Amino acid sequence: MPDRDAKTALFDQFARVGKALASGKRLELLDLLSQSERTVDALAKSAGLGLTTASAHLQTLKQANLVATRREGTKIFYRLAGDDVAELFALLRTVADDRLPDVRSAREAYLGDDTDAVSREDLLDRVRSGRATVIDVRPTEEFAAGHIPGAVSIPLNELADRLAELPADQEIVAYCRGAFCVLSHDAVRLLTARGRTARRLADGMLEWRLAELPVAV
């Protein structure tokens, strides 16, 4: 086979994408970027990384063309290169969760006790019929970058102080980044503890966008 070398070269090229996905830190960065573009500094802080470490990981992602950059003054904003990347990221998480028992236990440890969930269709139904108020508990920048139409932005850390804004007699549906995001879980627990009726969207903005449901900006 003279093809051997060419075949190896081709698959080694495929592996560049695999290598980019081969680090928990980089997956955390992709998770953040799946919500909105961000500067290196913001990414480093959110992911709990040193600045140079974050920069190095971002370079790795950039060399695999999974992320793209934009300069604004002295700042450089990173964003996902496309929705195909978001899809790949989401599928990787799903496969991991379905196949690896350790992922499930790590997820349970991180998200805490399970809370009531509604599907995307349920959420749409409840909003249309005026039976529910939808709150987006992500940081405001992420809400600004795109959210479920009609949702109100109440970042998790402001939720306790802003309870008065929420109707007491209506169900509240909270959502956040995606299937493995802790914010909506915490929000539901907080609301339930305060006597409200609250559920969370089973997944989040990432899956909503990939399902091509309407997004408001």
Partner DNA sequence: ACACTATTCCAAAGATGATTGGAGAACCAT
Partner DNA sequence: ATGGTTCTCCAATCATCTTTGGAATAGTGT
H-helix or E-strand spanning residue 165: none
Stretch binding its own copies (CB under 8 A), from 71-79, 85-93, 139-147, 157-165: 85-93
Q: Quick check: 31 binds its own copies (CB under 8 A)?
A: yes
Site string for its own copies, 53-82 (x = CB under 8 A): -----------xxx--------------xx
Measured from the CB atom, is 19 or 120 closer to its own copies? Answer: 19
Is residue 114 part of the contact set for its own copies (CB under 8 A)? no
CA dihedral 5, 8, 12, 18 (to 10 degrees): 180
Residue choice 45, 70, 99, 194 for contact with its own copies (CB under 8 A): 99
Task: Determine the Cα–Cα distance for residues 28 and 122; give it in Å rounded to an integer.
Answer: 29
Q: Which is nearer to DNA, 16 or 194 (CB)?
A: 16
DSSP code at position 147: B
- 201 makes contact, choosing from its own copies, DNA, none, with CB < 5 to 8 Å by partner type, with none
| Per-residue binder mask for its own copies (CB under 8 A), 122-161, x = binder | ----------------------------------------
Query: Residue 102 binds which entry of DNA, its own copies, none, with Cβ cut-offs from 5 to 8 Å by kind?
Result: its own copies
Q: Which residues are catalytic?
A: 176
Other C-beta atoms closer than 10 Å to the C-beta of 8 total 10
Selected from 40, 58, 61, 85, the binder of its own copies by CB under 8 A is 85
Binding site for its own copies (CB under 8 A): 1, 3-4, 6-28, 31, 48, 64-66, 81-82, 84-85, 87-88, 91-96, 98-100, 102-103, 106-107, 109-110, 180, 182
